[in-house]
Structure 1
Amino acid sequence: MEMFKLSTILSGHHDDVRGVSSTNDDCIVTVSRDKTAGIWERHGSVNFSMEKMLIAHSSYVNSVTILKVAGNYYVVTGGSDKIIYVWDILDCSNPIFTLIGHTDNVCTLSSSSDGKIFSGSWDKTAKIWNNYQCEYTLVGHEYAIWDIIEFNNNSVLTASADKTIRRWINGVSVNTYTGHQDCVRALVDLNNGSFASAGNDSCIRIWSEEGSCLMELFGHSSFIYSLDLLPTGELVSSSEDRTVKLWKDVQTIILPATSIWCVSTISNGDIVCGTSNNSAYVFTRDKERYADSDTLKIFNEANANFAESKKTKEKINSDKLPGVERLLQPGTKDQQVIMVKNGSEVEAHQWDSSTNNWLKVGVVTDAVGQERKQLYEGKEYDYVFSVDLEDGKPVKKLPYNCTENPYTAAQNFINKYELSGTYLDEIANFIVRNAEGVEIGSNQTGGDPLTGGSRYVANGSDTTSMGSLSNYKDPFTGGSRYISSNSQSAARITQSSAKEFTCPKKYVNMESGNPSAIYKKLEEFNSKVKIQNSDKSFDQDEMSIIKAVLNKISGEESSGEDVIFQGIDKVVSRVMSWPIEYRFPLLDIIRLAASKIHFNGEIRKHLLAGDSLEVFIEKSSNIVSDYEKNNLDGIQARAIMAMRMSVNMFSCADGQIEIALSGQELLKICKLILSSSPNKNLKLAVSSFLMNLAYLLYNKIELSKDTPFFERLNVNQIELMSNLVELSSEFLNSESQLSFVEINAANTAQIDNTDVLLRLVNVVGILGKIISKHSHNDSFAVPLKSIKNSNLSITLNAIKMASESDLLTNTIGEFYITLYFFFIFYIFSLLIFFDFNFIP
């Protein structure tokens, strides 16, 4: 039988792909931590494109299954927001059913042949949904339920972090299967009266229905996340060790990602898997569906450049490894993996019998510290530090992998706990001091061909592992948090003025994106336009200009900025004649280009086709006209793109000019968007724009002392500030009240709009700081009056109420509670002072 080879790469998500499923040979569904699901349809024999994006979840989407009822297909998704959504695959604009009942992350979903939905959650329960109503709640496991499947048509099986498997009939537990040494994560029915299970102990077990362990399969070197069965009856598994395996150890497929979160089989015998590098991969045995040479080259280079910590391998003694001369000898079997010492590097190579060559599949990096990686929130890390920010406050967990940029890890930590950006350098320096991620004997960074970024390589050899304050049992994984051998107290990071409101030090950017995927989508739409009207499609020269722009964005060598500047305006103008649903890839390019490329003061000419920003947004997206006509089909996706593009315009001086000139109209667009029930992603984009606009005012008036900036543009900064205050305070008021409604309705400790709330608080804080410094200027009484008239005091009181709630405290962090109290006092002081002195 043929070995599996790469067929295609599905690139379109902006975060880990946590679940995959399929309806048939030509339709794949993926779900991601980027809070979306994607429906991919086949074009030709090989390639897929994301035709639909499902947006409703307010947090990570972690699970997916396909439901078939009366010949119709439905997509079912679940995630960290504790909600299950059911979507009609033909019309995914909105979910048709919402299933509420779980009180924590919905981490697994499956369905039965008779139309039932099975769900499992970190809340230690599983549920059986019949006709979209909860029929049974399965209670009995001690920790999270990681998988649930139908078994033998009359029962269900559940796998749990409590190391057990249970079998249930009509909601009653009838069997408990024990034997795994760690969390059980995956199950699959083998269709012969037996089933397979796998988990954190790296072992696959085959069980009889009665409970006997018939076989144990070893081969993975880390957690096993997922199992599935091919039409041939072969078992497939995916793991934290970068591999997908075909059993009984028939083939090992190595991928350029640390975590292979999920694997699923398609009816045509292909395999699709989702990974931690934001992509999904399809593998096939059919030569007609093999990947083309360009895609294969990207995949092989990504594998060759992948840096892997020794912690994902058994302990390696590099002195005993053979040299590169070992690669002159052929492999003993296809897919055989060996490690060789090449100078100061340790390389992994895999034998490809079809080409009779060794393929480099990774560089093994050295990670000094614990012998075993640490589990945190379902992912393995080289280090999980306990960080103490303030006396008397809870210790916070800081996860870090040695191949990760410490500034990225620090920023993620700041975002997670809603901390001040002024902590960034101190946290990053702490990581560098206490973790070692040196690629053996090398001080050079390595480019990631999938992202265009660089792998961070730290210098120095001293490693200090930071301990935690006490033992803690993780209720979701059953593991213990890391305690260092030297029993140090938690690391301390302090800041002298934590209680003082501090303005942000830079603009917010929305720069995540995959240039390669964007280009492929643009090529696809260009082909469709060419069929409909060849005069409107891009020719080869114009596609080359677009490629040059994307290369520049990715940091690769391009044809030169002259080429970009001479042609991009024509490309932008031409796409305005395309159907509106085909325009978003180019708008995505403009979004990235606005923050990545310096346009020498001519951003309007090159990126906006000569129009002002608000005119360009309307021409490209029809936002205002469609909102006014109540034509809401697809409008939120277009509005998200327009607002993200506007957010990135603040990155350069000429972009700031365009923002200032269009500021009043853009605020009107924001108000229109906010009046039409925007989703979480759109709210975040709007609040980011408002925060950047506030910072622009602060930057010009307070920091650069360029007060004439707005005068030179004939822009009334006081009117702009007043309208910004009014809109932001209204937005803040509605969002804070929404949070309390959710708390009262769901009795939950998680609030999903804290990112938006904090941006809006920053807006009012920044503007309050400007006003307070210009209290002698009568003109500043106008925006202050807007603050008073907008019932901001109600909003601030709501925030105060929230800060007194244990529920919100757990969500936004102790630091911001202090900030809120200070901020409330600060603003009310202003209101009292100006009420008597300036406001009639």
Structure 2
Amino acid sequence: MAPAGRYRLSCSLPAHELDVRGMARALHPLGGFLSVSRDRSARLWAPIDGANRGFAEAHCMRGHSNFVSSVCTIPPSDTHPRGLIATGGNDHIICVFTLDAPEPLYTLKGHKNTVCSLSSGKFGTLLSGSWDTTAKVWLNDKCMMTLQGHSAAVWAVKILPDQGLMLTGSADRTIKLWKAGRCERTFTGHEDCVRGLATISETEFLSCSNDASVRRWLISGECLQISYGHTNYIYSIAIFPSSQDFVTTGEDRSMRIWRAGECVQTIRLPAQSVWCCCVLDNGDIVVGASDGVIRVFTESLQRVATAQEIKDFELELSQSTIDPKSEDIGDINIEELPGREHLDEPGSREGQTRLIKVDGKVEAYQWSVNEERWMKIGDVVGSSGATQQTSGKVLFEGKEYDFVFSIDVNESGPSFKLPYNKSDDPWLVAYNFLQKNDLNPMFLDQVAKFIIDNTVGQTVAKTDTTFADPFTGGGRYVPGSSAAPTSGIDPFTGGGRYVPGSASDAVPPSGADPFTGKNAYRLDASQAANIYFPKKDAVTFDQANPVQIMGKLRELNGSAPEEHTLSDNELILLERLLSVVSHPYAETPTAQQLETLWKAVRWPEDIVFPALDILRLSVRHPRVNENYCSEKACDQFCSHLIKFLNPSGKQANQLLALRALSNCFTSEPGQRLMMSQMDPVVSQAIELRAGSNKNIHIALATLTLNYAICLNRDRDIEGKAQCLSVISTVIEAVQDLEAAFRLLVALGTLICEDVNAVQLAKSLGVGSQIKKYASVSEPAKVSECCKLILNLL
């Protein structure tokens, strides 16, 4: 339902004691909406029975110890058929409520600063954004993953309707598109903080910003349209039901209605900051502002306020004061302004503003196209040369304020001016003050508390306080500002003797069972489920030709730097080691053999691959595994292998490093090491998905599968979320069916017997990604495995 007529006041609700900072449409049998406030409460409003207009408070929720900044509804589920309510606050937590209890059902902790944005999606997924620069994905009472990539506060978040895509907007001026926990694209164009997001469809969305613009985007990255109309920060944006039209609110005291990207109506409010808005199912608009009042506007004649209520609203508006800078009025010379006769001429566009001089004061009027009249929207202050003695205000940089504090960050450094009005949000003022003056954001609570303590019942002209850098104990801290060779051919000799990663050295053909090495793989559904979901034993790379490996090692030893050249005795040691680890473990590798192998593994990248091949075979041996993966040596060992995963490096090294990391899972020391280093290993390994080498893809899928096996055993839901993200990302890149099959087994292992993991996989859209494998005819194991997973989902 798109806006067709003129919106007028329907009702005003003196709902909260302080600013209304967040709003959302409610999942309530009678309709209605939710509001949250700096007064630390969240309230559910339902239409009054039998009335054409008006709302009554149906439910009040308290659980935060500080201001409440954001709110959203969580869709109904089998457990909670009426849905849930989530609120985020300046106390760094998220409270989740039922519709009939005043206390939280549970709280979500993990953010390190204000939770300023919330969005919900399918299957109970919740996305939160915070001043700590991160966004988090929650499922029930658990954090599934943390989205890291922004360099400043995440002011806006939105879960897209389908495909498992998520959006975040930040004070770093960018918007990021996330899929399965990984940033797919960064949108740039806004010139200031991104404050709001709204989704039009699965492929389009809107953003609003402190740069006073609204942008329309395709998720492919293209900006389709830029709309201007506001004269100051735009705080919120909401879409009309079944429409591409929208409404915005901002710091210029206005709510604006837009059709086809053009502003068609401007409604001013008697409050400086119009923080939030939402659109109800019937098309009515609800807005919350800094005066604590909720106002509902409608285009329905049946729901319009009485004539007296509208008259009272317009009177209140006319008596409000206007900051010329917030309205983009600019410098004013009162002597040059016209009188009331200037209002005899009609305006030329909706929302046009005119200033006139009346009895030595400046009055502002706005043109209404629908009503064909000028409406007074307030008195302009700061334009008449008033002083603090005559106006009760303090003049600072051409604007009048209730308070101007002088803040010293250290005893010897300069002081900074902090202007503040009683109607301002102390936390937002503190945040802007710290950003403007490049001060440590950790001072936020301290500055906001200072403002609150010094503006209660008294006027403070100048107050000095000193802030120390919490890290150094000193004064000012300035944070960073916010902005292949042919297969079968030896690449070194041209021969065909030894090629790491070739078919003979890699894995069984794609028709073979990679877990048994047999070609006759075919199981019915129940057998497959019992064997693979969950899979319990690590998958390793065991095949090798020791004679070829040692031949290549001896050949390349001649070109190794002098300090790395192996002696004849050392070559014999490695040959013996290779023999020991390639057969049933009748012997134990010696310390001298392992030292020699480590020496060879540090050869230059161009010639190191045969040494890496010996390493990936050796690390399967318990003695070798313990030696390289123990606490004493693990950091050096792991970081050295990660180095070979660079996408610009040699493919042979990439392949063998992946296999060595996979083989680490054969013993407990290696498992501990790989789990402790999961983030750096996976973050680097996943970059190799972009290549076309199928053996690398198979090795990457095997590494992922081994992580899934450990995670299933440990019941680590956050680790499972990270692994699901890897599967979702890699399975789109691989073409080889063997790699796809191993990823499918990893997926089944992760979600088997874990309801939370199933729900998370659904929310990430993994089911739609793997459907194509259900129709694979050969090898049959791929389609059978896929169908089993789809049944689980």
Q: TM-score, normalised by structure 1?
A: 0.47
Q: Which structure has the higher relative contact order (CA within 8 Å, separation 6+)?
A: 2
Rg larger in structure: 2
Q: TM-score, normalised by structure 2?
A: 0.50
Larger helix share, 1 or 2: 1
